[in-house]
Every structure is written in structure tokens, then in C-alpha cells.
């Protein structure tokens, strides 16, 4: 059975722990110059319908470093843009490729693509979720804090796709997560409800950014207007003003708080230049880990060479 990653709820705690361990191992191997190329002759398709720097380049580099070939497919240059049904595209691409990473608007479209594909499909961001981002972010938390258990994570800003994936991660891993979002910009109620019902995480929503920041070990923010919301930028700038992650907010957190941002950042909007470039910021290491985590994800989904040990995620396929 093929396995997809469409949301973090597709994974168990054991899957995520396996990915975290393997990503750390792959990072070490790369730093030591060990070549690891199990994917000779394998191809990864990347259908991107929205802009990307980090996700696209880390997926392409990951596939090349693993010995395979990435094929970037700009959605507007394919027949998808001329209304070929998603289910037809899925069945045809499955004949050519070994895995498909997709960045698009609609989670439903991604799910239909996955349903009709016989190869693994990875969510590389939709309007609703950004699961691979949060997997690599948890890797960064582990590196900086040594664990994720008992770490207080404060999300400050929009209740958006990245926030939704943090909520799912909290539900699966039992994280302590507090989200400070303005009224009318809370995370999706259904996603929140489902996550809270799982009972594992400590998930709270407030409208007070200082309350969220109090004693936080991790402060995380993201753009106030996501891709597709450019028309709301002016209004959002006004609504979110009090939610800027700046030194005033950081002062309320624990003394060795780390500040995270999935990037791209808008300086002096959701984050001040001083904090982004300051001593608590880990955003560049965070961006690097997207590469290592992507390799672990691809290995788990496409599989390693026969005879090599599999991690728990692959074992469960």
C-alpha cells in the first residue's frame, strides 16, 4: 500500500519520531560527506501552483542528493490548467513517477489527486496545511531544546495553514501549544476541535500575544497574508499590528526562547528586523532542516534500497 502525507494526522507519533531520528542521521551523513544515493532511476514530480523558494529547492536538492531526479511541473504549463480532470492527471503521472509533491490552493484537490494516484503524494503546502514544514520545524526544536515534550510553543499571528499543521502536530505528539490570533483570524474551528478531541496535546487559543509569549520556549510566527490573500494585505496589516513578534514580546518568553519563522519573512510586519536577525532567532537553521527532513520523508515513502534497514515509518507501510 502506498502512503501519502496530506496532513500530519496521516502520521503516528512513532512515524514522526522515526522521521526525526532519520532526518538527524541523514544530516550527519551529509556533514560527514557520506554519499547516500538509493534513488538511482527514481523520479519525483513537483506540481507547484504557488510560488516557492525553500520547499521547491529543498525537495529538488533532496531528490538529487539521494541519487534520483526531480521533475518540476509548473501547474499552469500542464493540461491541469486547461481543465484536464485531476483524477486523469493522477492516473497518468503515476505511470511515470515514483512520488509526487504538490503545492496548491485546495486541500480537496490534493486529496483527489492522492486518491487516484498509485504513487505516494506529499502535501508541499495547501491553503489548509503545511505538514512537511512543521516536521522539519520539530526537528529544529529537537536540535535546539533536546526534546519536544514539555516545550511550550507559542504561535503568534494568523491561524493559517502552518498554524493548522502545528495544531495537528500537537494532537499527534502531545505538544504544549498556545496560539495567539486576532478575533476573526483564529485557526479553523473544525481542525481545532478534532485536534483537541484526540486529547494528547495541550492546545489553547487566546487573543493576547503577551499571554501566549509568557514563559514560551518557542515563539513562532508567519506572514499575516498568505499566498492567495494578497488582496487582504492592507486590512490584515492593521488587524495584526499588536501581533508583531518584536523584542517586547520576546522579553515575556523564557530567557532562552527560540524564535522561528517558516519564511519568507516580512520585516517590521509579523516580525521585527531586530528579532529576526537577533540572538534568539533560529530561522536559518530552521530553513536548512527542510532539506534533511525532506530526505527522510522521501526515503520513508519511496523506500530505501532492498536490504537496507527501514525506519519505523517504512515498516508500517
Residues interacting with ligand CP, by CB under 6 A? 52-56, 125, 133, 262-264
Q: For ligand NVA, which residue of 64, 196, 227, 287 counts as binding (CB under 6 A)? A: 227
By CB under 6 A, residue 160 contacts ligand NVA: yes
Q: Residue 7 or residue 161: which is nearer to ligand NVA going by CB?
A: 161
Single out the segment in contact with ligand NVA by CB under 6 A; choices: 96-104, 112-120, 206-214, 218-226: 218-226
CA nearest neighbour of 125 among 30, 59, 191, 178: 59
Q: Are 267 and 273 in contact (CB under 8 A)?
A: yes
Give the contact letters, 10-49, x = binds to ligand NVA (CB under 6 A), - = no.
----------------------------------------
Q: Are 162 and 226 in contact (CB under 8 A)?
A: no
Single out the segment in contact with ligand NVA by CB under 6 A; choices: 60-68, 139-147, 158-166, 184-192: 158-166
Cis peptide before 142 (omega within 30 of 0): no
By CB under 6 A, residue 226 contacts ligand NVA: yes
Residue 281 interaction partner, one of ligand CP, ligand NVA, none, beta carbon < 5-8 Å per kind: none
CA nearest neighbour of 19 among 289, 305, 307: 289
The CB-of-166 to ligand CP minimum distance in angstroms stands at 13
Residue 53 interaction partner, one of ligand NVA, ligand CP, none, beta carbon < 5-8 Å per kind: ligand CP
The CB-of-124 to ligand CP minimum distance in angstroms stands at 8
Phi first, then psi, for residue 218 (nearest 5°) are -135, 130
Reported residue count of the chain is 317
By CB under 6 A, residue 162 contacts ligand NVA: yes
The Cα 230–Cα 86 span in angstroms is 26
Phi first, then psi, for residue 46 (nearest 5°) are -125, 105
Residue 226 interaction partner, one of ligand CP, ligand NVA, none, beta carbon < 5-8 Å per kind: ligand NVA
Q: Residue 265 or residue 314: which is nearer to ligand CP going by CB?
A: 265
Using Cβ positions, the residue closest to ligand NVA within the complex turns out to be 226
Q: Residue 162 or residue 218: which is nearer to ligand NVA going by CB?
A: 162
The CB-of-178 to ligand NVA minimum distance in angstroms stands at 19
By CB under 6 A, residue 109 contacts ligand NVA: no
Q: Residue 92 or residue 227: which is nearer to ligand NVA going by CB?
A: 227
Give the contact letters, 133-152, x = binds to ligand NVA (CB under 6 A), - = no.
--------------------
The CB-of-49 to ligand NVA minimum distance in angstroms stands at 12
Residues lying near ligand NVA in the complex (CB under 6 A) are found at: 125, 160-162, 222-223, 226-227, 262
Amino acid at each position: 500500500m502506498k502512503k501519502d502525507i496530506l496532513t500530519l494526522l496521516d502520521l503516528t507519533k512513532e512515524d514522526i519520531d522515526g522521521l526525526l531520528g532519520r532526518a538527524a542521521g541523514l544530516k550527519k551523513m551529509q556533514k560527514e560527506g557520506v554519499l547516500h544515493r538509493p534513488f538511482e532511476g527514481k523520479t519525483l514530480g513537483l506540481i507547484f501552483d504557488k510560488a516557492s523558494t525553500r520547499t521547491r529547492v529543498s525537495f529538488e536538492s533532496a531528490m538529487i542528493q539521494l541519487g534520483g531526479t526531480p521533475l518540476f511541473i509548473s501547474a499552469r504549463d500542464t493540461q491541469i490548467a486547461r481543465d484536464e480532470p485531476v483524477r486523469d492527471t493522477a492516473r497518468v503521472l503515476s505511470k511515470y513517477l515514483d512520488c509526487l509533491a504538490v503545492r496548491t490552493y485546495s486541500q480537496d484537490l490534493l486529496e483527489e489527486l492522492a486518491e487516484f494516484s498509485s504513487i505516494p503524494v506529499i502535501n508541499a503546502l495547501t491553503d489548509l496545511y503545511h505538514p512537511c514544514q512543521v516536521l522539519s520545524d520539530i526537528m529544529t526544536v529537537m536540535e535546539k531544546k533536546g526534546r519536544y515534550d514539555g516545550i511550550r510553543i507559542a504561535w503568534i499571528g494568523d491561524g493559517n495553514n502552518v498554524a493548522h499543521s502545528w495544531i495537528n502536530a500537537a494532537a499527534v505528539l502531545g505538544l504544549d501549544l498556545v496560539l495567539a490570533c486576532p478575533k476573526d483570524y483564529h485557526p479553523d474551528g473544525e481542525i481545532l476541535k478534532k485536534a483537541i478531541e484526540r486529547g494528547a496535546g495541550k492546545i489553547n487559543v487566546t487573543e493576547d500575544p503577551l499571554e501566549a509569549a509568557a514563559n514560551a520556549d518557542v515563539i513562532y510566527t508567519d506572514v499575516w497574508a498568505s499566498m492567495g490573500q494578497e488582496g487582504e494585505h492592507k486590512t490584515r496589516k492593521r488587524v495584526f499590528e499588536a501581533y508583531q513578534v518584536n523584542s517586547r514580546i520576546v522579553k515575556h518568553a523564557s530567557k532562552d526562547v527560540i524564535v522561528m519563522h517558516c519564511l519568507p519573512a516580512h520585516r517590521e510586519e509579523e516580525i521585527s528586523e531586530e528579532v529576526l536577525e537577533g540572538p534568539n532567532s533560529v530561522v536559518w537553521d530552521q530553513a536548512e532542516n527542510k532539506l534533511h527532513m525532506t530526505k527522510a520523508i522521501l526515503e520513508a515513502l519511496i523506500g530505501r534500497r532492498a536490504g537496507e534497514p527501514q525506519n519505523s515509518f517504512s515498516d508500517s507501510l
